A and B are shown apart, each in its own frame.
Chain A
Amino acid sequence: MLKVHAIAVRLTALLLLLLVSGFAAEPRRISVYAPQAVYQVDILFRDGVDYVGITDLLEPLGRLESRVDGKKFKLTFNSAEAEFQDGKRQCRVRSNKLDLPSNFLLVDGRGYIPANSVAQLLPRLADQAANFHQASRRLFVGSSEIHYTAELHRAPSRLVLSFSAPVNPSSVIEKNRVRLLFRREPLVGSGPENVTYKDVFVQGTNFAESPAGAELTINILQPAIVSTADAGRTLIITAVPPPAPPQAPAAAPQSAPASPANQPRAVRPHPFVILDPAHGGSETGSMLSPTLPEKVVNLAFARRLQRELEARGVPVVLTRVADNLLSWDQRAVSANTSHAALYVAIHASTTGHGVRLYTSLLPGAPPTPAQATTPSATQPAQDRRAFMPWDQAQQPFLAQSASAAAAIAAQCSSAGLAVHTSAAPLRPLNSVTIMAVAVELAPTGSTAEELATPEYQQKVAAALASGIAALQGRQGAAQ
C-alpha cells in the first residue's frame, strides 16, 4: 500500500515539474555561423534528447531537396544524398553508413537529428568542417570562426584586441568594466577564459559564450573609451583622457588631445539593405491557398531578391533565413543595428494585383510616397539623434522612406508591373531608424499560385533590385 502511495506521489510531482518547466521554458535555439549566413535553428526536446530540424539546418547552406517515403526521410543536399529512418540510429550519408548518437525522428513530415550529431553529419553532407559548442549551443561551419588576441600596451596603458576578421560588437561601458557583445560575429576564445593583468588601467579580461553570442569583458580601473582601427579588425580600449583646459571655441578642434578616438576611423563595408521576410515559425501570415502560407512565399521571394541585389553589387542581409519566428521588436532591432541604409519588409497577399509599396503612417507625416520627390532621399534626415519614442522612431526618416518607395515604384512601373504606393500603419515600420519600406506582392491574375512561381517572383525581384540599386547609386553619389 505504501509503495503505491509513493509511486503516486512521485508521478504527481513529476507531472507538476513537467507542467512548470513546460510553461517556464523559453524556446531554445542553436546559433549557426556559416560563411553563407548567420541564423538560428529551433531545438525540439524529445525523450530527453535535443533535436534540430535537418531541413532548417541545411536550407540556408545550399540547395536542398527532401522527401518522406514511409518511415524513411531522404534528402539531397547539393550533390550529397542521405537517408534516415524514423526511430533508427543508423543512417546513410553518400554511400557511408553512420550511427547517430540517438534515434532519428520524423515528426509531421519533418526530419530531426540529435543536436549533438550536427558536427558529425555536416562535414559529410556539406564538405565543410563543423565545430559545435554544445554548452553555448553555437555551431561554426567551415572557416567562419573569428579568433582574437589581447595585448596590453603601456605608457599610456591600453588594451589592443586584434581579430582575425572585422568585427562590430555592441559595447557597453560601465564604471569598472567594458562589455563587448558579439551577437552576429562567430567569435571564439583563443586562450584561457580569464586573463589577469597587473596594470593601472586594465585588470583583466574574461571571455564567455552563450546562445545569444560571445561576450568579452574588460575589467578596468578608470573610465574607458573603445575605438576601432584596421577596418574593424582591431579594437583599442583606452582610458578617457583628462579634460582639456578650456580654450576659445574656434581653437578647440585644433588643440584637442590626440587619442585613438580622435583618429580617423577606417570605413567598413556595411549592407545597404536589410530584407525582412515577414512572419515565420508558428506565425504563418495569411493562407494564400489551402497549402501555401504567406511565410513560405515571403522567404522564397526574399532569397530571390537577395540574389538579384547581390548580382547588382548591392550588399544585403536578411533578418531570417529559416522558418523561425521573430517578434516585431526583434525585426526593428535587427534593422536598427544592421548599419544598413534601407529596410524592406516582404509580404504577400492574394488581394488586389501587382506590387504595393508602403511606408510608415505617423502623425504629421510629411510626404506620402506618391508625393515624395526623388532628391529628398539624399538629404540628411532631420534631427536623427534626438530621442524618439519607440513607436515613432521612424518619424525623422519618413521623407527619405517615401522617396525610396517612390524610386523603387518607378522601376517596377518601368518593368510593366502594376504598382501602388501608400502609407500604412504596419509593424514594425514605425520603430525602424533607417529608410523603411514594406512590399506586398500580389498576383497579376486571380490565382494565388502565381505568387509562388519562379517566373513571377523573378520579374518582381529584378524590378525591385533595380530600384534599390538605383537608390544606392544615388546615395553614393550624394556622399
Chain B
Amino acid sequence: MISRKLQVAIAALVLAIFAMGGYLVHLKRKAESISSPPISETLTPPVNGPAEELVLYLASDEQNSLQVTAISSALPGDPGERGRLALHTLIARYLQKDSPHPLGPGSDLHDVYLLDPASAVVNLNAAFANSHRSGIQVEQLSVFSLVLTLKAQLPQVTRVRFLVDGKARDTLAGHIDLSIWYDVAAVSQAAAELK
C-alpha cells in the first residue's frame, strides 16, 4: 500500500512536469516570435536622404538565371544598414505573389555587419533557412542573388559569410554550403555562367 504522503509527492511531481512543459512551450513560442518578426513586403525608405540606384540580382527558377534590376531608393550611409536594406528589399521581392523565385513565409534577414571593409556577414533569420526549398539550383540561386546584390551596394566587399539566427549552419536546405566564406569574385564568375 502506497502511503498518502508518497501519493501526494508523486501527484505534485506530475503536476510540476506538466507545468514545466507548458512553460517550455510558452518560452519556445516567445523565442520564435522574437527571432522571426513578420516581414513588411513594402520597403519603407528612410525619411531623409537622396534617392540612389539600388541594384538587385533577382533569381528566376524557370530560367535558372539572375536578372539585374535597378530601382531608385533612398539608402542609408552606414555600410551595414545599406547592405541590410538592399537584401531586405531583395527578399521582399521574393515574397511577393508570382515571384520567379519564391521564398518561405517570414523569410528575412536580421542584419549585415562588416568585420572589416572587405568581409561582410549576413545574418539571416531562421524562417529564411528553415522554409527554403531544397535543391542545388534553388539554393544556389538564393545565395548567389544575396551575395551579388550585397556586392552591388558594397563594392569593397570581397567575401561574404552567412549565419542563421546568429549561428553557423552547414547547408541552406541540405545542399548549398553555408559554412564557408563566399569569394565574391568566384560567385560573380559562376553567376556569369548561369543561363
Contacts and interface: CB of A to CB of B under 8 A. Distances in A.
A427 B64 contact: no
A365 interface: yes
Interface string B155-178: 000000000000000110111110
B64 to A, nearest CB: 5
A277 to B, nearest CB: 14
B136 interface: yes
Given A286-B135, A351-B137, A440-B137, A361 B190 contact: yes
Given A352-B64, A425-B176, A425-B180, A368 B136 contact: no
A349 interface: yes
B195 interface: yes
Tell me which of B61, B136, B182 has the highest count of chain A C-beta atoms within 10 A of its own C-beta: B136
Interface stretch (A125-133, A141-149, A415-423): A415-423
Contacts of B3: 1
Contacts of A424: 136, 140, 176, 190
Interface residues of A, number: 38
Contact of A365 (B143, B189, B195): B189
Interface string A363-374: 111001111000
A328 B143 CA distance: 20
Contacts of A319: none
A370 B194 CA distance: 10
Interface string A269-313: 000000000010001011100000010000000000000000000
Contacts of A99: none
B135 A350 contact: yes
B134 interface: yes
A366 to B, nearest CB: 10
A347 interface: yes
A443 to B, nearest CB: 12
B55 interface: no
Given A283-B174, A285-B174, A430-B177, A423 B186 contact: yes
B65 to A, nearest CB: 10
B135 A422 contact: no
Contacts, number: 99
A371 B193 contact: yes
A352 B171 CA distance: 21
Nearest to A368: B193
A370 B180 contact: no
Given A4-B6, A361-B190, A420-B64, A426 B176 contact: yes
Given A286-B135, A349-B137, A349-B138, A423 B190 contact: yes
B185 interface: yes
A186 B134 CA distance: 38
A341 interface: no
Contacts of A362: 183, 186
Given A351-B138, A430-B177, A440-B135, A364 B183 contact: yes
Interface string A336-378: 0000000000010111100010100111110011110000000
A425 B134 contact: no
B2 interface: yes
B186 A361 contact: yes
B176 A368 contact: no
A286 B180 CA distance: 22
22 contacts: A1-B3, A4-B2, A286-B133, A286-B173, A347-B135, A349-B134, A349-B137, A351-B135, A352-B62, A356-B136, A358-B136, A363-B183, A365-B186, A365-B189, A365-B190, A420-B64, A422-B193, A425-B180, A426-B176, A427-B175, A430-B177, A438-B136
Interface of A: 1, 4, 279, 283, 285-287, 294, 328, 347, 349-352, 356, 358, 361-365, 368-371, 391, 420-427, 430, 438, 440, 442
Given A364-B183, A391-B180, 4 more contacts: A285-B174, A422-B140, A422-B194, A438-B136
**Shortest Cβ-Cβ A-B pairs, 9 listed:** A286-B134, A349-B135, A363-B183, A423-B190, A425-B177, A368-B193, A440-B136, A424-B140, A422-B193
